[in-house]
Protein backbone atom coordinates (compact mmCIF):
# COMPACT_ATOMS: atom_id res chain seq x y z
CA UNK A 1 0.00 0.00 0.00
CA UNK A 2 2.95 2.34 0.59
CA UNK A 3 3.60 3.12 -3.08
CA UNK A 4 0.13 4.61 -3.24
CA UNK A 5 0.88 7.16 -0.50
CA UNK A 6 4.14 8.14 -2.26
CA UNK A 7 2.24 9.22 -5.38
CA UNK A 8 1.62 12.94 -5.87
CA UNK A 9 -1.39 14.18 -3.95
CA UNK A 10 -3.43 15.11 -7.05
CA UNK A 11 -2.84 11.66 -8.57
CA UNK A 12 -4.04 9.99 -5.37
CA UNK A 13 -7.21 12.09 -5.57
CA UNK A 14 -7.80 11.21 -9.22
CA UNK A 15 -7.26 7.51 -8.56
CA UNK A 16 -9.59 7.53 -5.55
CA UNK A 17 -12.23 9.42 -7.55
CA UNK A 18 -11.95 6.98 -10.44
CA UNK A 19 -12.24 4.05 -8.03
CA UNK A 20 -15.45 5.46 -6.58
CA UNK A 21 -16.93 6.18 -10.02
CA UNK A 22 -15.94 2.72 -11.22
CA UNK A 23 -17.93 1.30 -8.28
CA UNK A 24 -20.92 3.67 -8.44
CA UNK A 25 -21.53 3.39 -12.20
CA UNK A 26 -21.97 -0.41 -12.28
CA UNK A 27 -24.05 -0.33 -9.08
CA UNK A 28 -26.33 2.21 -10.75
CA UNK A 29 -26.55 -0.08 -13.77
CA UNK A 30 -27.17 -3.12 -11.61
CA UNK A 31 -29.92 -1.21 -9.82
CA UNK A 32 -31.82 -0.81 -13.08
CA UNK A 33 -31.62 -4.58 -13.51
CA UNK A 34 -32.61 -5.18 -9.88
CA UNK A 35 -35.54 -2.84 -10.37
CA UNK A 36 -36.80 -4.98 -13.24
CA UNK A 37 -36.29 -8.19 -11.29
CA UNK A 38 -37.89 -6.91 -8.07
CA UNK A 39 -40.88 -5.55 -9.95
CA UNK A 40 -41.25 -8.88 -11.73
CA UNK A 41 -41.10 -10.92 -8.54
CA UNK A 42 -43.63 -8.69 -6.85
CA UNK A 43 -45.97 -9.19 -9.80
CA UNK A 44 -45.55 -12.97 -9.92
CA UNK A 45 -43.34 -12.94 -13.02
CA UNK A 46 -39.85 -14.42 -13.42
CA UNK A 47 -38.56 -11.21 -14.99
CA UNK A 48 -35.95 -10.84 -17.74
CA UNK A 49 -34.10 -14.15 -18.04
CA UNK A 50 -33.46 -14.77 -21.74
CA UNK A 51 -30.28 -12.90 -22.72
CA UNK A 52 -27.18 -15.07 -22.84
CA UNK A 53 -23.60 -14.36 -23.94
CA UNK A 54 -21.33 -16.97 -25.48
CA UNK A 55 -18.77 -18.85 -23.35
CA UNK A 56 -19.73 -17.26 -20.03
CA UNK A 57 -23.31 -18.39 -20.41
CA UNK A 58 -22.18 -21.91 -21.35
CA UNK A 59 -20.33 -22.58 -18.09
CA UNK A 60 -22.39 -25.35 -16.47
CA UNK A 61 -24.21 -24.25 -13.33
CA UNK A 62 -22.97 -20.67 -13.22
CA UNK A 63 -24.05 -19.66 -16.73
CA UNK A 64 -27.72 -20.68 -16.44
CA UNK A 65 -27.89 -19.15 -12.94
CA UNK A 66 -26.60 -15.82 -14.28
CA UNK A 67 -29.04 -16.10 -17.17
CA UNK A 68 -31.96 -16.66 -14.83
CA UNK A 69 -30.91 -13.65 -12.75
CA UNK A 70 -30.94 -11.62 -15.97
CA UNK A 71 -27.39 -10.33 -15.52
CA UNK A 72 -26.68 -10.57 -19.24
CA UNK A 73 -29.57 -8.19 -19.88
CA UNK A 74 -27.45 -5.63 -18.04
CA UNK A 75 -24.75 -5.92 -20.71
CA UNK A 76 -27.34 -5.97 -23.48
CA UNK A 77 -29.01 -2.82 -22.12
CA UNK A 78 -25.69 -1.01 -21.75
CA UNK A 79 -24.58 -1.89 -25.28
CA UNK A 80 -27.97 -0.90 -26.65
CA UNK A 81 -27.77 2.54 -25.05
CA UNK A 82 -24.31 3.14 -26.49
CA UNK A 83 -24.94 1.91 -30.01
CA UNK A 84 -28.53 2.82 -30.84
CA UNK A 85 -29.34 5.80 -32.98
CA UNK A 86 -29.69 9.04 -31.07
CA UNK A 87 -32.55 11.11 -32.40
CA UNK A 88 -32.37 14.85 -31.69
CA UNK A 89 -35.71 16.52 -32.42
CA UNK A 90 -35.60 19.53 -34.71
CA UNK A 91 -37.21 21.98 -32.29
CA UNK A 92 -34.73 21.63 -29.42
CA UNK A 93 -32.01 24.03 -28.34
CA UNK A 94 -29.11 21.74 -29.21
CA UNK A 95 -26.50 23.12 -26.81
CA UNK A 96 -28.61 22.98 -23.66
CA UNK A 97 -30.28 19.77 -24.83
CA UNK A 98 -26.88 18.10 -24.86
CA UNK A 99 -25.72 19.84 -21.68
CA UNK A 100 -28.61 18.67 -19.48
CA UNK A 101 -27.73 14.94 -19.22
CA UNK A 102 -24.08 15.72 -18.49
CA UNK A 103 -25.17 18.20 -15.86
CA UNK A 104 -27.33 15.51 -14.25
CA UNK A 105 -24.27 13.38 -13.55
CA UNK A 106 -22.11 16.12 -12.02
CA UNK A 107 -23.97 16.61 -8.71
CA UNK A 108 -24.69 12.89 -8.51
CA UNK A 109 -20.98 12.05 -8.60
CA UNK A 110 -19.76 15.14 -6.75
CA UNK A 111 -21.74 14.37 -3.61
CA UNK A 112 -19.97 11.00 -3.38
CA UNK A 113 -16.77 12.89 -2.57
CA UNK A 114 -17.98 14.07 0.85
CA UNK A 115 -19.83 10.89 1.89
CA UNK A 116 -17.73 8.53 4.03
CA UNK A 117 -18.28 4.92 3.05
CA UNK A 118 -16.19 3.08 5.62
CA UNK A 119 -13.55 3.45 8.28
CA UNK A 120 -10.56 1.72 9.75
CA UNK A 121 -8.59 2.24 12.97
CA UNK A 122 -5.21 3.92 12.95
CA UNK A 123 -2.25 2.79 15.04
CA UNK A 124 -3.45 4.73 18.08
CA UNK A 125 -7.03 3.45 17.79
CA UNK A 126 -8.33 6.63 16.16
CA UNK A 127 -11.06 6.35 13.51
CA UNK A 128 -9.83 7.06 10.00
CA UNK A 129 -12.82 7.46 7.67
CA UNK A 130 -12.65 6.21 4.08
CA UNK A 131 -13.81 9.14 2.00
CA UNK A 132 -12.53 11.36 -0.78
CA UNK A 133 -12.78 14.71 1.02
CA UNK A 134 -13.18 14.86 4.79
CA UNK A 135 -14.64 18.35 4.96
CA UNK A 136 -16.17 19.68 8.14
CA UNK A 137 -19.30 20.97 6.38
CA UNK A 138 -20.08 17.34 5.41
CA UNK A 139 -23.82 17.14 5.15
CA UNK A 140 -24.20 20.79 4.12
CA UNK A 141 -21.98 20.07 1.12
CA UNK A 142 -24.18 17.11 0.19
CA UNK A 143 -27.33 19.23 0.41
CA UNK A 144 -25.77 22.15 -1.47
CA UNK A 145 -24.46 20.08 -4.37
CA UNK A 146 -27.35 17.65 -4.68
CA UNK A 147 -29.84 20.51 -4.99
CA UNK A 148 -27.95 21.55 -8.12
CA UNK A 149 -29.19 18.34 -9.75
CA UNK A 150 -32.51 20.06 -10.31
CA UNK A 151 -30.87 22.34 -12.88
CA UNK A 152 -30.37 19.43 -15.25
CA UNK A 153 -34.06 18.56 -15.03
CA UNK A 154 -35.19 22.13 -15.62
CA UNK A 155 -32.67 22.52 -18.44
CA UNK A 156 -33.81 19.28 -20.07
CA UNK A 157 -37.44 20.32 -19.80
CA UNK A 158 -36.75 23.81 -21.14
CA UNK A 159 -34.35 22.90 -23.94
CA UNK A 160 -36.65 20.16 -25.26
CA UNK A 161 -39.01 22.96 -26.32
CA UNK A 162 -42.10 20.80 -26.07
CA UNK A 163 -44.97 20.79 -23.61
CA UNK A 164 -44.57 17.55 -21.66
CA UNK A 165 -40.87 17.97 -20.86
CA UNK A 166 -41.62 21.58 -19.93
CA UNK A 167 -44.33 20.54 -17.45
CA UNK A 168 -42.01 17.87 -16.09
CA UNK A 169 -39.27 20.41 -15.50
CA UNK A 170 -41.64 22.81 -13.76
CA UNK A 171 -42.96 20.06 -11.50
CA UNK A 172 -39.44 18.94 -10.68
CA UNK A 173 -38.41 22.40 -9.54
CA UNK A 174 -41.56 22.95 -7.47
CA UNK A 175 -41.29 19.54 -5.85
CA UNK A 176 -37.61 19.86 -4.99
CA UNK A 177 -38.03 23.27 -3.41
CA UNK A 178 -41.01 22.04 -1.36
CA UNK A 179 -39.29 19.00 0.07
CA UNK A 180 -35.80 20.47 0.51
CA UNK A 181 -37.10 22.37 3.57
CA UNK A 182 -38.45 19.32 5.37
CA UNK A 183 -35.34 17.33 4.43
CA UNK A 184 -33.01 19.86 6.02
CA UNK A 185 -35.19 20.52 9.07
CA UNK A 186 -35.45 16.79 9.77
CA UNK A 187 -31.69 16.36 10.23
CA UNK A 188 -31.16 19.45 12.41
CA UNK A 189 -32.11 17.57 15.66
CA UNK A 190 -29.36 15.02 14.91
CA UNK A 191 -26.74 17.75 14.78
CA UNK A 192 -28.25 19.55 17.79
CA UNK A 193 -27.61 16.40 19.73
CA UNK A 194 -24.06 15.60 18.60
CA UNK A 195 -22.83 19.18 18.95
CA UNK A 196 -22.29 19.68 22.67
CA UNK A 197 -22.70 23.31 23.81
CA UNK A 198 -19.40 25.18 23.80
CA UNK A 199 -17.52 22.62 21.70
CA UNK A 200 -16.56 23.48 18.08
CA UNK A 201 -19.62 22.82 15.94
CA UNK A 202 -19.59 20.36 13.08
CA UNK A 203 -21.77 19.13 10.21
CA UNK A 204 -19.46 16.18 9.63
CA UNK A 205 -21.10 12.86 8.79
CA UNK A 206 -18.14 11.04 10.33
CA UNK A 207 -18.93 12.63 13.69
CA UNK A 208 -22.54 11.47 13.39
CA UNK A 209 -21.40 7.89 12.92
CA UNK A 210 -18.88 8.16 15.76
CA UNK A 211 -21.68 9.38 18.00
CA UNK A 212 -23.66 6.23 17.13
CA UNK A 213 -20.67 4.00 17.92
CA UNK A 214 -21.24 3.70 21.67
CA UNK A 215 -21.55 0.33 23.35
CA UNK A 216 -24.39 1.21 25.74
CA UNK A 217 -27.06 3.79 26.52
CA UNK A 218 -27.98 6.65 24.18
CA UNK A 219 -24.64 6.62 22.37
CA UNK A 220 -25.02 3.15 20.93
CA UNK A 221 -28.62 3.50 19.79
CA UNK A 222 -28.96 4.51 16.19
CA UNK A 223 -30.75 7.77 15.54
CA UNK A 224 -33.47 5.75 13.81
CA UNK A 225 -34.58 4.63 17.30
CA UNK A 226 -33.98 7.86 19.19
CA UNK A 227 -35.44 10.11 16.46
CA UNK A 228 -37.96 7.99 14.52
CA UNK A 229 -39.97 11.00 13.38
CA UNK A 230 -36.89 12.72 11.97
CA UNK A 231 -35.97 9.51 10.16
CA UNK A 232 -39.48 9.17 8.72
CA UNK A 233 -39.59 12.79 7.52
CA UNK A 234 -36.10 12.53 6.08
CA UNK A 235 -36.99 9.30 4.28
CA UNK A 236 -40.20 10.70 2.79
CA UNK A 237 -38.43 13.86 1.67
CA UNK A 238 -35.65 11.70 0.23
CA UNK A 239 -38.19 9.84 -1.92
CA UNK A 240 -39.39 13.20 -3.21
CA UNK A 241 -35.86 14.54 -3.74
CA UNK A 242 -34.79 11.54 -5.79
CA UNK A 243 -38.03 11.70 -7.83
CA UNK A 244 -39.00 8.18 -6.89
CA UNK A 245 -42.49 6.76 -6.66
CA UNK A 246 -44.86 7.82 -5.18
CA UNK A 247 -43.36 11.26 -5.86
CA UNK A 248 -42.14 10.82 -9.45
CA UNK A 249 -44.02 13.88 -10.66
CA UNK A 250 -41.30 15.07 -13.08
CA UNK A 251 -41.55 11.97 -15.26
CA UNK A 252 -45.01 10.61 -14.46
CA UNK A 253 -45.57 8.37 -17.46
CA UNK A 254 -49.34 8.43 -17.19
CA UNK A 255 -49.90 12.14 -17.68
CA UNK A 256 -46.58 13.50 -19.05
CA UNK A 257 -45.48 10.73 -21.47
CA UNK A 258 -41.94 10.64 -20.06
CA UNK A 259 -41.77 13.99 -18.32
CA UNK A 260 -38.52 15.91 -18.61
CA UNK A 261 -36.80 13.17 -20.63
CA UNK A 262 -39.58 12.66 -23.19
CA UNK A 263 -37.42 13.93 -26.06
CA UNK A 264 -34.30 12.04 -25.00
CA UNK A 265 -33.14 8.68 -26.25
CA UNK A 266 -30.20 6.32 -26.29
CA UNK A 267 -27.08 7.38 -24.38
CA UNK A 268 -28.36 10.75 -23.18
CA UNK A 269 -31.41 9.09 -21.66
CA UNK A 270 -29.25 6.48 -19.97
CA UNK A 271 -27.21 9.29 -18.38
CA UNK A 272 -30.39 10.60 -16.71
CA UNK A 273 -31.06 7.07 -15.58
CA UNK A 274 -27.62 6.58 -14.07
CA UNK A 275 -27.87 10.00 -12.39
CA UNK A 276 -31.20 9.05 -10.82
CA UNK A 277 -29.80 5.83 -9.41
CA UNK A 278 -26.59 7.54 -8.27
CA UNK A 279 -28.72 10.07 -6.42
CA UNK A 280 -30.59 7.18 -4.83
CA UNK A 281 -27.32 5.52 -3.79
CA UNK A 282 -25.94 8.72 -2.27
CA UNK A 283 -29.27 9.50 -0.60
CA UNK A 284 -29.45 5.98 0.84
CA UNK A 285 -25.87 6.38 2.02
CA UNK A 286 -26.63 9.63 3.81
CA UNK A 287 -29.70 8.08 5.42
CA UNK A 288 -27.63 5.09 6.56
CA UNK A 289 -24.96 7.41 8.02
CA UNK A 290 -27.43 9.65 9.81
CA UNK A 291 -29.99 7.19 11.11
CA UNK A 292 -28.69 3.64 10.61
CA UNK A 293 -25.35 3.90 12.31
CA UNK A 294 -23.19 4.11 9.19
CA UNK A 295 -20.64 1.31 9.17
CA UNK A 296 -21.57 -0.09 12.59
CA UNK A 297 -23.01 -3.57 12.11
CA UNK A 298 -25.75 -3.46 14.80
CA UNK A 299 -27.05 -1.05 17.43
CA UNK A 300 -24.79 -1.22 20.51
CA UNK A 301 -22.34 -3.29 18.45
CA UNK A 302 -19.95 -0.69 16.99
CA UNK A 303 -17.32 -1.48 14.38
CA UNK A 304 -14.49 -1.47 16.95
CA UNK A 305 -16.12 -4.15 19.09
CA UNK A 306 -17.13 -6.10 15.96
CA UNK A 307 -13.49 -6.03 14.82
CA UNK A 308 -12.31 -7.16 18.23
CA UNK A 309 -14.85 -10.01 18.30
CA UNK A 310 -13.84 -11.27 14.84
CA UNK A 311 -10.12 -10.77 15.47
CA UNK A 312 -9.68 -8.20 12.71
CA UNK A 313 -8.52 -5.40 14.99
CA UNK A 314 -4.85 -5.62 14.06
CA UNK A 315 -5.53 -5.49 10.32
CA UNK A 316 -6.61 -1.96 9.28
CA UNK A 317 -7.12 -3.08 5.68
CA UNK A 318 -9.52 -5.91 6.60
CA UNK A 319 -11.40 -3.65 9.02
CA UNK A 320 -11.76 -1.12 6.20
CA UNK A 321 -13.13 -3.78 3.83
CA UNK A 322 -15.55 -5.04 6.49
CA UNK A 323 -16.82 -1.53 7.18
CA UNK A 324 -17.34 -0.84 3.47
CA UNK A 325 -19.21 -4.12 3.08
CA UNK A 326 -21.46 -3.36 6.07
CA UNK A 327 -22.16 0.11 4.68
CA UNK A 328 -22.87 -1.24 1.19
CA UNK A 329 -25.30 -3.81 2.59
CA UNK A 330 -27.21 -1.01 4.32
CA UNK A 331 -27.27 1.02 1.08
CA UNK A 332 -28.52 -1.96 -0.91
CA UNK A 333 -31.26 -2.62 1.65
CA UNK A 334 -32.27 1.03 1.35
CA UNK A 335 -32.35 0.75 -2.43
CA UNK A 336 -34.50 -2.35 -2.10
CA UNK A 337 -36.83 -0.26 0.06
CA UNK A 338 -36.98 2.36 -2.71
CA UNK A 339 -37.95 -0.32 -5.23
CA UNK A 340 -40.33 -2.03 -2.83
CA UNK A 341 -42.22 1.23 -2.28
CA UNK A 342 -42.22 2.00 -6.00
CA UNK A 343 -43.96 -1.27 -6.86
CA UNK A 344 -46.43 -0.91 -3.99
CA UNK A 345 -47.77 2.63 -4.04
CA UNK A 346 -49.56 4.49 -6.80
CA UNK A 347 -48.31 7.95 -7.76
CA UNK A 348 -49.64 11.00 -5.91
CA UNK A 349 -51.51 13.65 -7.79
CA UNK A 350 -49.60 16.91 -8.18
CA UNK A 351 -51.78 18.85 -5.73
CA UNK A 352 -51.44 16.00 -3.21
CA UNK A 353 -47.66 16.21 -3.50
CA UNK A 354 -47.77 19.92 -2.74
CA UNK A 355 -50.27 19.43 0.09
CA UNK A 356 -48.21 16.71 1.77
CA UNK A 357 -45.04 18.73 1.38
CA UNK A 358 -46.25 22.10 2.67
CA UNK A 359 -49.23 21.31 4.92
CA UNK A 360 -48.16 18.03 6.53
CA UNK A 361 -44.44 17.40 6.30
CA UNK A 362 -43.14 20.92 6.88
CA UNK A 363 -45.21 21.68 10.07
CA UNK A 364 -44.33 18.21 11.32
CA UNK A 365 -40.64 18.84 10.73
CA UNK A 366 -40.79 22.20 12.49
CA UNK A 367 -42.68 20.70 15.47
CA UNK A 368 -40.19 17.85 15.58
CA UNK A 369 -37.28 20.28 15.59
CA UNK A 370 -38.86 22.40 18.34
CA UNK A 371 -39.59 19.34 20.51
CA UNK A 372 -36.09 17.97 20.16
CA UNK A 373 -34.52 21.38 20.70
CA UNK A 374 -36.31 21.69 24.03
CA UNK A 375 -35.55 18.10 24.98
CA UNK A 376 -31.87 18.27 24.04
CA UNK A 377 -31.30 21.59 25.79
CA UNK A 378 -32.81 20.01 28.92
CA UNK A 379 -30.64 16.87 28.55
CA UNK A 380 -27.38 18.73 27.91
CA UNK A 381 -27.96 21.41 30.55
Partner 1 sequence: MPVLQVQRKPLTLSERAYLPQVAAGLWITLKHLFSPRVTLSYPEERPAIPPGYRGAPTLVKDPNGREKCVSCQLCEFVCPPRAIRITPGSIPSDQPGAHVEKAPEAFDIDMLRCIYCGLCEEVCPEEAIFLQNQYSMSGYTRSEMVNHKDRLYEMGGTMPDRHYKWDRKKAAAEKAAHHD
| Interaction site with partner 1 (CB under 8 A) | 38, 41-46, 232, 340-341, 343-345
Of 300 and 336, nearer to partner 1 (C-beta) is 336
Of 66 and 155, nearer to partner 1 (C-beta) is 66
Region for residue 55 given its phi and psi (left: phi exceeds 0; alpha: psi -120 to 50; beta: otherwise): left
- Output the smallest distance, CB 196 to partner 1, in A: 33
Of 133 and 341, nearer to partner 1 (C-beta) is 341
Of 38 and 130, nearer to partner 1 (C-beta) is 38
Which among 136, 139, 109, 106 is positioned nearest to 287, based on CA atoms?
A: 139
- Output the smallest distance, CB 41 to partner 1, in A: 5
Pairing label, strands 119-121, 127-129:
antiparallel
**What is the three-class DSSP state of 237?**
helix
Of 42 and 133, nearer to partner 1 (C-beta) is 42
Task: Give Dmax over CA atoms of the chain in angstroms.
Answer: 68
- Output the smallest distance, CB 42 to partner 1, in A: 5
- Output the smallest distance, CB 133 to partner 1, in A: 36
End-to-end CA distance of the chain: 47
Of 100 and 237, nearer to partner 1 (C-beta) is 237
- Output the smallest distance, CB 40 to partner 1, in A: 8
Q: Is 156 exposed, middle or buried (0-12, 13-18, 19+ CB in 10 A)?
A: buried
The angle subtended at Cα 254 by Cα 251 and Cα 257, nearest 5°, is: 55
Residue 209 parent element (H or E): helix 205-211
- Output the smallest distance, CB 154 to partner 1, in A: 29
Amino acid sequence: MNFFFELPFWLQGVLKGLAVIVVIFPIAGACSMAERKVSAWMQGRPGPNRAIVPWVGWIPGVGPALQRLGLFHLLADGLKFVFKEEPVPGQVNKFYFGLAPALALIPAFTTVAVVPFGAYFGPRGEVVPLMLANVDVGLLAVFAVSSLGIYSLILAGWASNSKYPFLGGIRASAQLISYELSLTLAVVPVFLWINAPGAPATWSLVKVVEFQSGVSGWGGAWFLFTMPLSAAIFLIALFAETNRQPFDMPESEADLVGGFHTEYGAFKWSLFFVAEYSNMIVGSGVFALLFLGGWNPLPWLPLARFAALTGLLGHPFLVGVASVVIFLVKILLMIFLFMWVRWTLPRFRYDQVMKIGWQKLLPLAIANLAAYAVGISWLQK
